[in-house]
Structures are given as structure tokens and as C-alpha cells.
Structure 1
């Protein structure tokens, strides 16, 4: 009798969710188009950075240097005639870089003197500016080396006869360094976090808005029978959304490899969504309507995402903030997910992350359930 009652209440949650058109539309967008936009619209690499050249030397070597900045990293947009025009382009965001090649550039090089090139860089987008500066420094360094060798009648190939240290790097798990894999996975895990909190909270507050919570409280149902079907139904919905993202977007479009055990990944996703539902139950005790649920959910989700390492590498955080990352269940979920899908790691290598997620998530769920029982028990 108890199990049939639970399944009936779980079915009720599916029916109520189906009637919430706005939430369903948001859910469908998040697990499809949002994942697609994250993989195509956000890039961590430098691609066709616009640049202009202020060539005050107008020599063969100045033109040779400007011609070294080629796609796919750089794209020439033309020449500028003055400092004012260069600054105007930077101010209006029409270019990212302006190279100022001074007079007597070629003359200094041919005399064996130091020749300088000024690079004006729009650093409002710091990561892209850092990459552009690094790539430009490599190009300028190689050009300078070639000219220095030419003065002594040598070429770059002649350096092969000299002793040197050669760096050979191999990129594991993502050989082509395809940033769409990282972006789509990070976005998916953030979306799972949002909905694993939002859906159970919205399901409970929906009862408050419609006045049915009082009917549930006077019925023979215990707080467990009120709470568990909502958590179970929303966990199953999140698993369905995750499947759509993986098999309809990330696999076919971005060719995410999914090297590890998919049953293990979905089991951990279910565990993560189930334990995160405790945060949703906690949020529902403070909310009287759906708008309040959204605001409280954002307040709770934001620290979890920011402290997870999804968007900021842990190495870039202060020491005290890295310690706080251990309090975010998403941190463990990210480590486990990347280990399974990209590295093909078995459960034996993921015990630390699984245990951390289970212990921390279990505590969060227990607190949320206690708060729920205290209000509705």
C-alpha cells in the first residue's frame, strides 16, 4: 500500500509539472539550446583577433613583419595613419590590437641595433588579451631571431646543428584541445545544479500557491509521503534532461567522447540531484510563491557554482577560497563527471569525489528534510 501511494503521488508530480508551461519551456531551453550556445558561442581560444598596423617605416621588413600575423589567430583590418586614429579604433572597440612600427625600423635591424615595435592592446577581455599578447610575442621573437641570424649569414635551419632542448608535449583526453567539450560539460553540470534545486522547491511552493498544501497536511500522508515523491519525480526529470543534452546535443554536434561508464555517470547524477533536492526543500520553506523560489534558488546556487571550479581554476583562487570549494557538492560532481566522460575513469579512481559528494550532499539533504518536516510535520 505504501509503495502504491508513493508512485501515485510521484505520478501527480509529473502531471503538475506538465501543466506548468513556463517552467517546462525554461527546462527545455536549458538542456538543449543553452548547451548548444555554450559550445558554439563561448570560446577560450584566440580566433581572428582584429588588428591594425601603423607603419611609420614603410619598408620591406615592416611589411614582412605585419604579414606574419595571419589567421586563424589574427586578422588584418587595415592601416592607421596616426596615434589619434589608433586610439579611436581601440576606444570604439573596432580593433583589438594596433601595432606601431616606428621610423628607421628596417635601418636599425640592418645595422644590428635594437628595433622596437609598440603593441596597443584592448585588454577589456583579459583572457583573450593575454592570448593575443602571448602569440604576438612569439611571432615578434621569431621574426627578430630570423633577422639576427640573417645578419650573420645564417638561417633558422642552421640552429638544428647546435645543442638544444626540444619540448614535446602531448595533450591527453582532449588531444585537439577542443574547448567546446569543457564549455558544454560545465554548462550541463551547472544546469543540473540549478534544476535539482529549483524543481523540488517549485513543486512544493506550487502546493502553497494553489492552497493544496493544507489538504495534504490534514490527509493521512506523512511529511515523507509529501516530500519524497516530489524529489523522486524531479530527479527523474533531470535525468531525462541530461540524456537529451548528452545524446542529442553534446554527442552528435560536439562529438563529446563519453569514454567511461554511462550507467555510473547517471547513477552519480541521480545521487547529486537527489541530495541537492535538500537545498530545494530548504528554499521552499522560505518561499510563498514561484518568484520567491527563483530568487532564493539564485542566492543558493550562485555560491555553489562559483566555488565549484567550473569557471575559475582552483589554482587561480586564494588559499582560503580553495578550502571553501570543498563545501560545494558541485566541485565533487565536476571532478567525477570529467573523470568518467573524458578520462574513462572507473569508480575505483573516483572514490574520493563520490564519497565527498555523498557525505556533503547527504548532510545537505538531511538538513533540508529536517527543515521541511519541522514546517510541515
Structure 2
């Protein structure tokens, strides 16, 4: 019994010493420490404050050949924050030139009989051209314009019915009542800041353990570890645990010093659950890092291989493109991406206040996929020492 207790104590003592060594080595790498501080602070501030998915101040130019009340009323309904009415043009060639130069996001063209057709009960049309170079903004501009024109058309139809003697309450109508959950003001900063945090966690989960191992190769200290009385697990596990601790510390700084005070993002779920899932995700995703460390010979190669691994993970995460919009084979590939399940879990806990009774399947997939990656990475890591 004493021998088992003594062996366990020595095992823990060696792990503690190795974890302390990894943290000291990390602190000595000034460039990597700066990158950590920047990523968990300024990068999230820039992502949450400068990236917007909304249509704001889209420049609108108008060619009005009608010059009547109706055309002017409609054009002045294109107001901020979605549109910014820049002015008028005289001919169609000038409109095309502005569109080609990128000076106009959208243009409205009223024919000379626009108001006359409205008064006579005929169909009145206006031509709108939208610059869809950026397809997202182009779609939003067209959608906003359709809503504005529809509302204008509905009001004119109701005015005409009222003048004809029809009761205003006699026409059928549908009332569309919206209820926006989890982000009632639809702030992009809530979504972007949390998405960037989860992405940064993934970047460092893949990069940091590999960096710690390859640094040993570059400095020639890996041979010293091999002749020490340490097992392969006692070399590998402290690197993962120490970097997991660093990532969790950076996550806490981002949540409590950046995301909550600057963007006022609410945290509706359990913080212990979020940090527990994050620790599981980082620990298991480190299997990719171990695999990279067996292929890379220097830190530059670690960076290149990290990009190679992260690119498909980000594209298949579902943060930018929903699974429903992807082809079937890509939706299958998304299921095996651990970041996809981690993003679902992160948003579920932080913004929706969901618990394990709802997120158990996502957490289970993180553990399953991560366990496979960790097993393969550990097998490859141990094999290089034999």
C-alpha cells in the first residue's frame, strides 16, 4: 500500500513539475504571450465592434422622371439606417457609371407616368438596380426595398378603397407579430464576439501543445526528456494540461473583461458548465495538436499545418453558413467537425441558457470525436519515441 501511495505521489509530483516547466517556457516566449493577449482581447474587440452583417447606409441614387408627390414620397422612404439617399441623376448612363465605380449600392428609376398610373388605378412600376458584388448585402438591399415598396403600395390601395367608399376595416389583412428570442435587439456584436472567442479557443487548442513539443525539438531538449525517468504520458499530458489551463484563463479574461463589459453580452447559462465543456473540447482537440507535432520540425511548420487543419474546421463549423444551405455530403462532413458541436454548445449555454438536458448530444459528440482524435494523436506521439 505504501509503495502504491509513494508511486502515485511521485507520479503527481512529476506532472506538477512538468506543468510548471511548460508554463515557464511559455512565459519566456514573448511573441507567443503577446499573441495570446492580443487574440483574447483586441481581436475579439475588433470582431465584435467592426464586423456587421446588417445593411447600413447603403448609398442610393435616384433618377426621377416623374417629379410628382408619389415618386418623391416613395424615394424618401428609403431612410437610414438601411439606406442613405445620396441624390439624383439625370440619365441612365450616369446610373450605370456609378454602379460600375462602386459609388452606388442601389439606384431607383421612376418613369414619367409613375404617379399618373397610380391615380388611374393602373400598375405603376419603378426599376431598382442593386450592386450584388457582395451577395449578402445585395440580398438585404433587395429585401428591404421590396418591403418598403410593398408597404407603399398597400397604403395607396387602402387610400383608393377609402375614396371609393369601401370601409377601411372591410379589407382583409394579416398581422405579422414577430417574437425575437435570445438576442431581441439583433445585435451583431453578441454573435460576432462569441463566435470569435470560440474560434480563438480552437486555434490555440490546435496550436499551443504542438508549439510546446516542437520547441523541445528546436532547442534539442527532447533528448533530455527521453533519457529522463519520464514515461511518454508524463511528457505528453503536462503539455496538454498546461495549455488547457492557459486557454481557460484567456477565455475567462475575454468573457469578463471584454465581451460582457464592452458589448454587454448576457451570459444566461451556467458558467461552470461552459468552462467544463470548453476544458473537454480543448483537451480532446489537442489530439490534432499532438499529431501536428509529430509532423512539424520547427514552429513555422506548426503554423502552416495549423492553418491547414483549421480552415476546413471553420468552414464546416456552421457559424457562417447554416447546415441547411450546404450540400448533403458537406452536411455529413460537418457532423464530424468538433467545432460545429462546440459552437452549438457555446451559443446554447451563453445566449440561450441551455443545460445538459438539451445539449447532451452536442457534448457527447465533442467527447466522441475528440476522444478519437486524442487517441490517434497520442498513438502517433508515442510512436515517434520508439
Q: TM-score, normalised by structure 1?
A: 0.96
What are the within-5 Å matches in structure 2 for residues 28-67 of structure 1? 28-67=37-76
Matched, 1:144 2:153: yes
Give the Å deviation of 1:20: 1.2
Tell me, in whole angstroms, the C-alpha distance in 1 between the residues paired with 2:273 and 2:177. Answer: 35
User: Alpha-carbon deviations, 1:302-339, whole Å to 9, x = none?
Assistant: 11111111111111111221111111111111111111
> Residue 261 of structure 2 corresponds to which residue in structure 1?
252
> Residue 336 of structure 1 corresponds to which residue in structure 2?
345
> Residue 108 of structure 1 corresponds to which residue in structure 2?
117
- Tell me: CA distance 1:362–1:158, structure 2 relative to 1, closer, same or farther (3 Å): farther
Tell me, in whole angstroms, the C-alpha distance in 2 between the residues paired with 1:280 and 1:154. Answer: 74
| Partner SS, residue 94 of structure 1 | coil
Equivalent of 1:88 in 91, 94, 97? 97
Tell me, in whole angstroms, the C-alpha distance in 2 between the residues paired with 1:107 and 1:349. Answer: 59
| Partner SS, residue 256 of structure 2 | helix
RMSD: 1.6
What are the within-5 Å matches in structure 2 for residues 291-370 of structure 1? 291-370=300-379
Equivalent of 2:290 in 281, 284, 288? 281
Give the Å deviation of 1:185: 1.2
- Tell me: CA distance 1:144–1:373, structure 2 relative to 1, closer, same or farther (3 Å): same
- Tell me: CA distance 1:205–1:162, structure 2 relative to 1, closer, same or farther (3 Å): same
Give the Å deviation of 1:264: 0.7
| Partner SS, residue 43 of structure 1 | coil
Contact 2:161 2:168 survives alignment (8 Å): no
- Tell me: CA distance 1:159–1:239, structure 2 relative to 1, closer, same or farther (3 Å): farther
| Partner SS, residue 261 of structure 2 | coil
> Residue 16 of structure 2 corresponds to which residue in structure 1?
7
Which ranges of structure 1 fall in alignment gaps of 5 or more residues? none
> Residue 277 of structure 2 corresponds to which residue in structure 1?
268
Tell me, in whole angstroms, the C-alpha distance in 2 between the residues paired with 1:290 and 1:273. Answer: 20
Q: Could you tell which deviates more after superposition, 367-376 or 37-46?
A: 37-46
| Partner SS, residue 45 of structure 1 | coil
| Partner SS, residue 107 of structure 2 | strand
> Residue 190 of structure 2 corresponds to which residue in structure 1?
181
Give the Å deviation of 1:366: 0.7
- Tell me: CA distance 1:160–1:14, structure 2 relative to 1, closer, same or farther (3 Å): farther
Tell me, in whole angstroms, the C-alpha distance in 2 between the residues paired with 1:235 and 1:154. Answer: 72
Tell me, in whole angstroms, the C-alpha distance in 1 between the residues paired with 2:309 and 2:333. Answer: 15
- Tell me: CA distance 1:369–1:154, structure 2 relative to 1, closer, same or farther (3 Å): farther
Give the Å deviation of 1:161: 4.1
Which ranges of structure 2 fall in alignment gaps of 5 or more residues? 1-9
Tell me, in whole angstroms, the C-alpha distance in 2 between the residues paired with 1:158 and 1:331. Answer: 54
Contact 2:60 2:105 survives alignment (8 Å): yes
User: Alpha-carbon deviations, 1:58-108, whole Å to 9, x = none?
Assistant: 222211111111111111111112222212211221120011111221122
Matched, 1:204 2:213: yes
What are the within-5 Å matches in structure 2 for residues 219-238 of structure 1? 219-238=228-247
Contact 2:162 2:168 survives alignment (8 Å): no
| Partner SS, residue 350 of structure 1 | helix
> Residue 76 of structure 1 corresponds to which residue in structure 2?
85
Tell me, in whole angstroms, the C-alpha distance in 1 between the residues paired with 2:210 and 2:382. Answer: 14
How many pairs were matched up? 376
| Partner SS, residue 323 of structure 1 | helix
Tell me, in whole angstroms, the C-alpha distance in 1 between the residues paired with 2:225 and 2:194. Answer: 39
Q: Could you tell which deviates more after superposition, 6-15 or 213-222?
A: 213-222
Give the Å deviation of 1:145: 2.3
